[in-house]
Amino acid sequence: MNSDAKQQLADFFQQLEVEKRASPHTIKSYQFDIQHLITYCSAKNLEKWADVQQADIRAHIASRHRQGISSKSLQRELSAIRSFYRYLLKNQLVEVNPAHYVKAPKAARLLPKTLDVDQITGLLEAGTSSDLEIRDVAMFELFYSSGLRLSELAALDLNDLDLADKSLLVRAGKGGKARLLPVGSKAITAINAWLAQRKTLAIGETAVFTSNRGFRLGHRSIELRLERWCKTKGITERVYPHKLRHSFASHLLESSQDLSAVQELLGHSSLSTTQIYTHLNFQHLAEVYDNAHPRAKKKSTVEK
């Protein structure tokens, strides 16, 4: 790039720092991302930012993709380039934003990991040997029973539970939305067992789940208790709170086929978010088909 182009880029970063008050991390990321475009422009003998066309941006992103750069990283690079060209447009240094309509390649959609029913049973019925393990089982049962997020379980207060009605209230789910959820009988039994122990541990604390010193359990403490539970009970599968939530959604959808109900129970604002669990069910059906259908099986030996 020529000296004017380099100065324009320097002015852009100066604006980000002074006027936009962008963090040093953001500025460093922008510099890193736009440097890749500069490398491309140098290879193509493009001296001015106005010389860069939409086809160049597409070719640049395609080249980066072939290098193995992830879709998420390419989206970030495009965001930096668009921001820079918006600055150039605003200052009448270019006439168009060549990155405006360019999109990064779509990332492969990763399906959520779940446990099967037998694995859930083994996890939740491994047996307790202390008051804290009684508490832990109540937490794990509730994750699976009601599909709670980690933050929702940690924030749960005693007055959010209505065990007689077999329900609980999530006061502030994702997006600040409240929702009323059913609680299964196994979870109710586990919670009652914990509440009987809790009386001597937590005095004046509103949280349902507390430490042995009577304070509300934090997110990381809950995660660590689940890790510890699996380790001490000989469970080799890696289990984390959101996997229990995924398992809740997958098993419920598999049994009910009611996508809207599962959406409401999970607290998803969009049905498309919940639809990922239909892919899990199809994946299971496809495996059953491959293993069972006579015309799907691969013959292990060649007939002569």
pLDDT in tens, 228-242: 999 999 988 899 999
298/177 Cα distance (integer angstroms): 50
Q: Which domain holds residue 48?
A: 3-90
Domain at 185, CATH number: 1.10.443.10
Q: Where is the domain boundary, 90, 109, 127? A: 90
Domain at 32, CATH number: 1.10.150
Confidence of residue 299 (pLDDT cuts 50, 70, 90): low
* 142 and 274 housed in the same domain: yes
* 13 and 82 housed in the same domain: yes
* 216 and 128 housed in the same domain: yes
* 16 and 135 housed in the same domain: no
Q: For residue 157, what is the DSSP state?
A: B
Please state which of the ranges 6-10, 171-175, 274-278, 290-294 shows the lowest mean pLDDT. 290-294
* 125 and 247 housed in the same domain: yes
Confidence of residue 105 (pLDDT cuts 50, 70, 90): confident
| DSSP for 73-120, written as a single string | HHHHHHHHHHHHHHHHHHTTS-S--TTTT--PPPPPPPPPP---HHHH
**Number of domains, the chain:** 2
Active site residues: 149, 174, 242, 245, 268, 277
